Structure 1
Amino acid sequence: MEPFMLLPPAMINKMSVHEILECNDQTARFGLQLSASEALELVETRAHSLRSFGRVEFAGGMINKLILRFCDSPFLSCHNYAAALNDLIEAFYYFKNETLDEISDDELIGLMKVYFDGNCQGSLELLQNRELETLARNIRYGLTDYWNVHPNEDDPDNEEVDVW
């Protein structure tokens, strides 16, 4: 068994960019593709966000999960795709902290997508400043239906959110 070895950051970045670019095979059918420079920018955004929010990530793949979850959004186009992904990465790490790590990465990404495509109608500002802030507050206050950011007793569809 080999001892644990740390890879140099440049090697990790190169591997991360390669993994991100592999997502282009799946996102191309939605007219969305990232260039190598855009993929590197996403990796740099992740690194900056991790430092800014005092987080450590041992396994990669969060960027790929965001890409694959959001690629079918009707609110993303080739014109806003890379910029939106950068904002989504920052929001993800910020709200991982704000939700006290009480929900899994996959659940947070799923809720982000539901809110983005639903009530936010593609607005990253509404996603971050209204939906995710309410989600985080609901979690901090211990609400069992924390995902229900707009409770409405007359709306039976508002009872549970399918994040998968």
Structure 2
Amino acid sequence: MDKFISRLPALAGEQKGEIVDCNDKTQAYHLALSEKDAEMLIATKNEVLRKNSRVEFGGSVISKLILGFYDSPYISQHNYVETIDDLIETFYYYKNETLDEISDDDLIQLMRELFDKRCYGSIELLQNRELGRISHNVKYGIWDFDKVQALEPGEEDEDYE
């Protein structure tokens, strides 16, 4: 255990480097994260893991989220750090809510599709409407859990209020 604990600062440094390295791709979209931003995102991830009683081994989900979302038309440098921060919280919460039935990569892909096509960049709609429906479907064994019915504009869904 002591050997693992002594390795934690090195792991955080590796994660920070991995996050900052994403700038190579994201700069084409005028997006960049500083080392301070990376540290804040890692702190968010660690807090969310603790709150959701989760442990992460291996690769960083943060980098996967960055690379999964950086070219969204709803992300700009102005909201970049905040959006990635919110996506980290959303990701881990819904990993629990979907009972780990959806792989990390599939959940990120699904989040991105919903974020762009149904939520038009709204984290609140992603969290409270779309992913809520998907987690409901997963919990109740609906095989096509990602085939949520889209509502028409102005239409309310009584089942999910």
Question: Is the shorter-chain TM-score for this pair beyond 0.5, marking a shared fold?
Answer: yes
Cα distance in 1 between the residues matched to 2:141 and 2:103: 16
- Structure 1, gaps ≥5 residues long: 153-164
Cα distance in 1 between the residues matched to 2:64 and 2:42: 13
Partner residue of 2:145?
146
- Tell me if 1:88 matches 2:87: yes
In structure 2, give the amino acid aligned to 1:117: D
- Tell me if 1:127 matches 2:129: no
Partner residue of 2:101?
102
Cα distance in 1 between the residues matched to 2:98 and 2:70: 24
In structure 1, give the amino acid aligned to 2:27: A
Secondary structure (helix, strand or coil) at the match of 1:34 reads coil
Cα distance in 2 between the residues matched to 1:18 and 1:108: 24
- Deviations along 1:66-92, one digit per CA (max 9) or x if unpaired, are 000100100000000000000000000
- Deviations along 1:9-65, one digit per CA (max 9) or x if unpaired, are 222111111110000000100111001100111111110011000001111221111
Greater share of helix residues, 1 or 2?
A: 2
Cα distance in 1 between the residues matched to 2:150 and 2:68: 25
- Stretch of structure 1 that moved more, 6-15 or 72-81: 6-15
Partner residue of 1:46?
45
Partner residue of 2:30?
31
Partner residue of 1:159?
none
In structure 2, give the amino acid aligned to 1:12: L
Alpha-carbon RMSD across the aligned residues, in angstroms, is 1.5
Q: Normalising by the residue count of structure 2, what TM-score does the alignment of the two structures yield?
A: 0.89
Cα distance in 2 between the residues matched to 1:20 and 1:80: 17
Distance 1:151 1:141, change over 3 A: farther
Partner residue of 2:115?
116
- Aligned-residue sequence identity (percent) comes to 49
- Deviations along 1:80-115, one digit per CA (max 9) or x if unpaired, are 000000000000000000000001000100000000
- Structure 2, gaps ≥5 residues long: 152-161
Cα distance in 2 between the residues matched to 1:118 and 1:17: 30
Cα distance in 1 between the residues matched to 2:9 and 2:37: 16
Partner residue of 1:8?
7
In structure 2, give the amino acid aligned to 1:46: K
In structure 2, give the amino acid aligned to 1:13: A
In structure 1, give the amino acid aligned to 2:42: V
